[in-house]
A = this chain, B = another copy of it.
Amino acid sequence: MFSKACEYGIKATIFIAQKSLHKTRVSLKEIAAEINSPEAFTAKILQSLARNGLVDSHKGPTGGFEMNRAKMDTIKLYDIVNAIDGDNIFVGCGLGLKHCDANKPCPVHDKFVGIRENLTQMLKNTTMYELASGLDIGLTQLKR
């Protein structure tokens, strides 16, 4: 459903947010170890998220990644997915047609409308804070 890059990006962001709940900055190394992802590849994804303002990064010793509480409430899962995989999953045709809509639908158009809407709304309604909290209290996991 999501690209590998997006999976890593989501997991990394949730972990960063969880640590930020405790005012702790995390390094790339810690992140990659925690979410079990290739370090250099994860770095690329985090750079992109940082450039897009979805996480904050700091260079130098004691540097690393963090996310303030305001962002945790503002930024939705949707924003992470959209930043990494783009909006094709939200708006594109299920069969890859360029011009597919209610007027000129592909054979699966109507079948997909509802599911896509559910997915989009779910992602748009899910805050990073919510995901970080669940992880923080041990309700959810990022490994295995």
Number of A residues with CB within 8 Å of any CB on chain B: 38
Contact with B along A108-134 (1 / 0, CB 8 A): 110100110011001000100001001
Contact B2 A140 (CB under 8 A): no
Contact B104 A144 (CB under 8 A): yes
Q: A25 vs B115: C-alpha distance in the bound complex, in angstroms?
A: 34
Q: A26 vs B6: C-alpha distance in the bound complex, in angstroms?
A: 40
> Which of A42-50, A55-63, A88-96 faces chain B?
A88-96
For this complex, 25 residue pairs linking A to B, each with C-beta atoms less than 8 Å apart, are: A2-B94, A4-B96, A7-B94, A7-B95, A7-B96, A10-B108, A11-B95, A11-B107, A14-B107, A77-B108, A97-B142, A97-B143, A97-B144, A99-B144, A100-B141, A100-B144, A105-B141, A106-B141, A107-B131, A107-B134, A109-B140, A111-B122, A115-B119, A115-B122, A118-B118
